Structure 1
Amino acid sequence: MSSHSLSTFSNMDVDVAIIGAGPSGAIAASLLHQQGKRVVVLEKQHFPRFSIGESLLPCAMQFIEQAGMLDAVEKAGFQFKNGAAFRYQNNYTTFDFTDKFTPGPGTTFQVQRGEFDKILADTAAKQGVEIHYGHTVDHIDLTHEPVISVSTEDAQQYQINAKFILDASGFGRVLPRLLDLEIPSNLPPRSAIFTHIEDNISDSTFDRNKILISVHPQHKDIWYWLIPFSNNRCSIGVVAEPHLLARLQGTLEQQLMTIVNEEPGLNRLLSDAKVVQECATLKGYSANVSTLATDKFALLGNAGEFLDPVFSSGVTIAMQSASMAAATLLKQLDGQHVNWQEEYAAPLMKGVNTFRTYVQAWYDGRFQDVIFYQQANPAIKQMICSILAGYAWDTNNPFVAESERRLNTVVALCQDNDPV
């Protein structure tokens, strides 16, 4: 059902070829298939496969529902999530995503991405979407209508003639590489080290329904994620500029545990933790492109731009882009003229740039001053909570509409009254 039943592949004609079966690819495929378009999804790997981006945002639930996948996700037994907690030294604060400015879901899940991504892809396949695993895109010809050269694991080669290509390849960034679209990110290069642990947390005050973001006690631009799962496990990771990690010695696991133990709260919480997965690292992950879309292709999620993992925006941006691109593409496939810059790229970047404001302000310390401010104005906290919950496209929210100006106003108030 979800992979080709024949032993040989012949050339095929489709409306849309999608590169990648992750969240953006699966959701875009489902939305297009619902409207009667012939879609094929090409996935280089086999599912389940490990990925980070495990703490979903409530905003993403809308797109899961739109794609008819909500029931499958809710039945999977993932860890319920209703907010985010932040700790720096003796400061601890929480954001309840149900107490937010923007309408929409206020809860979501924390997920092992291997299982989560497979559920989305399998649901798309059950809906009738054609997905080929172990198939690699080797070449793209955009001279006329897109022609895609594909190879299989057993060295077969075939071509797909498509009316349009959606690149949902994530960090694989297939089209940016093949079409030379990559440009440097305006964010400094950072590295992440991460793993899964059997956490054995005995502290009854620890809230498993929230991601915990901890800040290093001496270096405010080093931070940690702790994402509880429903099976007594957590995802743990640290993010910093490479020079701040260079002092760490030993294996990746030793490096990660050394720096985790430098944060007293995590050291205490994880005193009985056991690493259950090989540690991994991701370096220089921030990326950007010169073109997000034309009348022949569009880039979804991380294939276009990846900012930073700090507010778990990656999967939400991926799903938002899938929904927006599918709606725009349906118009084009139905014969309407589409301006991809005005109808897809610019609206998508409005939310991405909102997240960028808060990512940059997190690392320079301004947003941390706001998050840890003890006398928060409830209405302002609700507006910021909406962004943390993923609603970065809601221009009714002043902190979206004028993100930099509004943030700086609040930063000045916090710093004047209660410097952290």
Structure 2
Amino acid sequence: MSTIQQTDVLIIGAGPSGSSAAALLRQKGYQVTIIEKQHFPRFSIGESLLPQSMVFLEEAGLLDTVRTHAEEYGFQFKNGAAFLKGSQRSFYDFTQKFSDGPGTTWQVRRANFDHILAQQTEKMGAEIRFGHEVIAVDVELKRPLLTVKTEQGEIYQIQAEFLLDASGFGRILPKFLDLESPSDFPVRRAVFTHIEDGILDDPEFDREKILITVHEKDPRAWYWLIPFADGRSSFGVVAEQDFFEKYGYDGSPDYDLEALQKRILADDESLSHVLRNAKHDTPVRTLVGYSADVKHLAALNYALLGNAGEFLDPVFSSGVTIALKSSSLAVPLVDQVLQGQTVDWLEQYEKPLRKGIQVFRAYVESWYTGEFQDVVFSQHQDEKIRRMIASLLAGYAWDTTNPIHRNAKQRLSTLAEYCREDLQTDSVKHAT
């Protein structure tokens, strides 16, 4: 093996958290090397961004490149979220929110989105080594050391002052360092694809909003429909495994996932009507057991970013926002480390990051218990409450001025009870 290579900061993974962290570090003048196993562009889900993400992209100097390429790649302007359950419809306009900050964003093909972020990061001076795989990690040394294998089978070592894991679902450091901690979320499966949606002049469908549909027969299951600007959409269904077993799917790798997805869609009359002209022309994929957690998010010479640390659930599209927020929080601390200063990673990084994640967690949990669904479909929401909820749905989970941020789980439960009481009152009035 040749001489150990050197750099200031090593990053594993060139997705949004890796690219944004590299861009922020380049702003400070550090040498940055990213090790990325795949080649870009590559398929990824998580296409519906949240407005809070725009703040972090701008901070990293990456927002202009997204604006520049939005039309070219069919990025769809997004201003909110719509919900559907049988005959019930609801929506939230993110421009009508409690928190300060952007109220609009895009729905993007992640293959293109991630690629242009990585390309811009390279233009800023970061080195990205595509097709290189991390095969060993040593963080016992003061300067962490990676052993890397190229596609040609060559093996080399590279060392840095600090290591950031932005490997997403690859979760490199959690696996190598035994940091995995079981998520307390039930094991869920997503079955997803891209379709030609065929939605033309439907007055009840808004391409500027993600559509989340609750399965009429099993409220634990839901569908996402994320429109792009060129007549195509990302389409998926999420549920626990027993739900899919009712449709005959046991998880076998050779199962016809397209037929499965079509059967599940046909079982929901309202969404089937929306997608009555859709063409399923792309292979259907599945991902199971994606919720994850770790024992800790950082130590003296490394930190975990985004999904490499914790992933909750796709229902409210929080993944990219958490990834970008983690980079925004971590990079100033990495800078302090490289300047010889002491950093308390628990107090300065992990606790602040997890505060927002816990808010996301509260309404993800509340969604699956049905409480947040009751809130979403309630017709009797105070306008102030709607604005607070719109802020959370727009990704502003770290806004401590939002009253619903504090004790989010309890407040959502109380709000759900209020909405249910109003629904019962209306039912009684209607009956009499």
TM-score by length of 1: 0.96
Asked if 1:197 is matched to 2:190, the reply is no
Distance between the aligned counterparts of 1:204 and 1:247, measured in 2? 32
Match of 1:353 among 331, 353, 358: 358
Asked if 1:30 is matched to 2:42, the reply is no
Distance between the aligned counterparts of 2:371 and 2:169, measured in 1? 29
Amino acid at match of 1:211: I
What does 1:242-391 correspond to in 2, within 5 Å? 242-249=241-248, 251-391=256-396
Shift of 1:394: 0.7
**CA contact 1:9–1:156 (8 Å) conserved in 2:** no
Partner of 1:3: none
Shift of 1:276: 2.3
Distance between the aligned counterparts of 1:150 and 1:402, measured in 2? 44
Partner of 1:111: 108
SS of alignment partner, residue 330 of structure 1: helix
**CA contact 2:366–2:409 (8 Å) conserved in 1:** no
Distance between the aligned counterparts of 2:202 and 2:421, measured in 1? 36
Asked if 1:214 is matched to 2:207, the reply is no
Amino acid at match of 1:36: G
What does 1:80-119 correspond to in 2, within 5 Å? 80-119=77-116
Shift of 1:403: 0.6
SS of alignment partner, residue 100 of structure 2: coil
Distance between the aligned counterparts of 1:392 and 1:133, measured in 2? 33
Structure 2: runs of 5+ lacking an equivalent = 249-254, 428-432
Distance between the aligned counterparts of 2:62 and 2:164, measured in 1? 20
Shift of 1:10: 5.9
Asked if 1:120 is matched to 2:125, the reply is no
Greater mean alpha carbon deviation, residues 8-17 or residues 366-375 = 8-17
Partner of 1:153: 151
Shift of 1:335: 1.6
1:108-165 Cα shifts (integer Å, max 9, x gaps): 0000000000010000001111100000111111122211111100011111111111
Shift of 1:401: 2.0
Distance between the aligned counterparts of 1:262 and 1:324, measured in 2? 44
Shift of 1:405: 2.2
**CA contact 1:51–1:114 (8 Å) conserved in 2:** yes
Distance between the aligned counterparts of 1:143 and 1:11, measured in 2? 16
Distance between the aligned counterparts of 2:416 and 2:338, measured in 1? 46
Asked if 1:162 is matched to 2:167, the reply is no
Match of 2:8 among 9, 15, 22: 15
Identity among equivalent pairs (%)? 53
Structure 1: runs of 5+ lacking an equivalent = 1-7
1:279-314 Cα shifts (integer Å, max 9, x gaps): 000001101111110111111110001100000000
Amino acid at match of 1:125: E
Distance between the aligned counterparts of 2:195 and 2:64, measured in 1? 28
SS of alignment partner, residue 140 of structure 2: coil
Shift of 1:11: 3.1
Distance between the aligned counterparts of 1:297 and 1:224, measured in 2? 37
Partner of 1:136: 133
Match of 2:416 among 408, 411, 417: 411
Distance between the aligned counterparts of 1:404 and 1:193, measured in 2? 28
**CA contact 1:33–1:39 (8 Å) conserved in 2:** yes
Partner of 1:5: none
Amino acid at match of 1:349: R
The count of residues paired between Structure 1 and Structure 2 equals 413
Distance between the aligned counterparts of 2:268 and 2:90, measured in 1? 16
Amino acid at match of 2:396: Y
Amino acid at match of 2:34: V
Large movers: runs of 4+ above 6 Å: none
Partner of 2:222: 223
**CA contact 1:196–1:236 (8 Å) conserved in 2:** yes
1:97-116 Cα shifts (integer Å, max 9, x gaps): 00001100100000000000
Partner of 2:63: 70
Shift of 1:9: 8.2
Partner of 1:57: 50
